[in-house]
Copies of this chain bind each other. A is one copy, B any other.
Amino acid sequence: MQLDKISRNILSILQQDARITNQNLADRVGLSPSSCLNRVRKLEQAGLIGPYLGVVDLAALCRTVTVIATVSLKDQSTDAFRAFQQTAEAIPEVVECYTVSGSFDIFLRIIAPDMSRYNKINDRLLDVLPGMVNISSHVVLNTGKPFRGYPLDELLDS
């Protein structure tokens, strides 16, 4: 599916304001509400956009600790990898998980109520493949730039 300027614009707007009304969206992209809705539906069906998330201000809600953990596996077999990753992703406090190249690493972002809870999660991860996992924990001191969507303008031109 090759997108024209209008559909890109829709994605861009919806990405940043998922609760905009269809009428406003239609205005902003220069379409009638019906056509606009039509496009949004198609974009959703094509899987190009959605789900829609509300950003919760966790810091305002309760005390938490965010940790960025880098993981190295001594046994880099596919099985070991999968075992670790499955366990990690099943833990609700592990909110993000990436497999990365370079040093066969895994990056995790973990949210815990406090350090002692984080410790437990850490232990749980270490126990998956005893002695084969090296986890380096980095406590987040400050969120300089939280994720707020992709730079579609920059990316879609290329």
Closest-CB distance, A140 to chain B (whole angstroms) = 5
* Chain B residues, Cβ within 8 Å of A4: none
Interface size on A, residues (CB 8 A): 73
Closest-CB distance, A121 to chain B (whole angstroms) = 10
* Chain B residues, Cβ within 8 Å of A66: 98
Please tell me how many copies of the chain the complex holds.
2
Indicate if the CB atoms of A49 and B54 lie closer than 8 Å: yes
A9 within 8 A of B: no
Closest-CB distance, A25 to chain B (whole angstroms) = 11
A64 within 8 A of B: yes
Assuming A52-B17, A52-B53, is B98 touching A156 (CB within 8 A)? no
* Chain B residues, Cβ within 8 Å of A70: 70
Contact indicator per residue, chain A 54-89, by CB within 8 Å of chain B (1) or not (0)? 111110111010101010000000000000010011
Q: Which of A47, A56, A114 has the most CB of B within 10 A?
A: A56
Docked CA distance A27–B60 (Å): 26
A5 within 8 A of B: no
* Chain B residues, Cβ within 8 Å of A68: 98, 100, 107
Indicate if the CB atoms of A54 and B147 lie closer than 8 Å: no
Q: Which of A52, A66, A117, A137 has the most CB of B within 10 A?
A: A52
